[in-house]
Amino acid sequence: MAHDQILTREAILDAAEQVLRRYGPEKTSVVDIAKALQVSHGTLYRHFASKADLREAVTERWLDQRISAPLEAIVERQDGTAAERLRDWLQALVRAKRTYLAEDAEMFAMYTAVTAESVAIVHAHIAHLTGQIARILESGIRSGEFKPGRPETVARAIFTATARFHHPAHARDWQSDEAEADFEAVWALLLSGLAV
């Protein structure tokens, strides 16, 4: 980055994400990110109070762009039933987490580490995702496809019931031979509880 250009939050996060992918979350320092931007590390501290704050901001943006935004497209779809959209949403979440574990290991490792340390990011992310589920449930209740109920409460229960398939603490289990059959069994149980 040229010294005469304005250093924006987005530019810092872009550089941080690139450097984190190159060196990994454990080896990346604020100095590495500053070098990539051709600024002093002190300049970065004007935007982020600490390395932890910077890592949290990168993780939060990654979650928004790579997980939440694609799922939002499923929530907003007008085709298909609410059950189909809910299943597609859950499968997309599971697929995204598995894909990033395999193909974007450095960012997945940082996401795992930061979410273990930052309760605020975890709560905000879960609230956003369960809000998406609740909107699908609301449409199913309105159409008479799902039983009446409290969509926010049911959404949280669905998210919790499927955690084994998308929570990073269970990443080792995602490649097991039983994972797909287990998901199908959980989905069938959830659907039987939702359907009228």
Q: What is the pLDDT of residues 90-134, one digit of tens each?
A: 999 999 999 999 999 888 988 888 888 888 999 999 999 999 999
Could you tell me which residue, 139 or 1, shows the higher pLDDT? Answer: 139
pLDDT tens per residue across span 149-161: 999 999 999 999 9
What tokens does 180 get? 């797909």
| Cβ burial 127-159 (10 Å sphere, 16+ → b, else e) | eebbebbbbbbbbbbeeebbeeeebeebbbbbb
Tens-digit pLDDT profile for residues 49-58:
998 899 999 9
- Residue 2: what pLDDT? 44
Roughly what angle, to the nearest 10 degrees, separates helices 30-37 and 9-23? 120
Residue 1 pLDDT: 45
Together in a domain, 88 and 145: yes
Same domain, yes or no, for 147 and 188?
Answer: yes
Q: pTM, whole model, 2 decimals?
A: 0.90
Same-domain status, 10 and 72: no
> Which domain does 92 fall in, by range?
51-194
pLDDT tens sequence across 101-110 = 999 988 898 8
Q: 58 and 21 in one domain?
A: no
Domain match, 102 and 6 both: no
- E strand or H helix that includes residue 144: none
The predicted pLDDT at position 5 comes to 57
For range 176-185, the mean pLDDT: 95
Last residue of one domain, picked from the residues 48, 67, 86: 48
- End position of a domain, from candidates 26, 48, 70: 48
Q: Do 5 and 62 share a domain, yes or no?
A: no
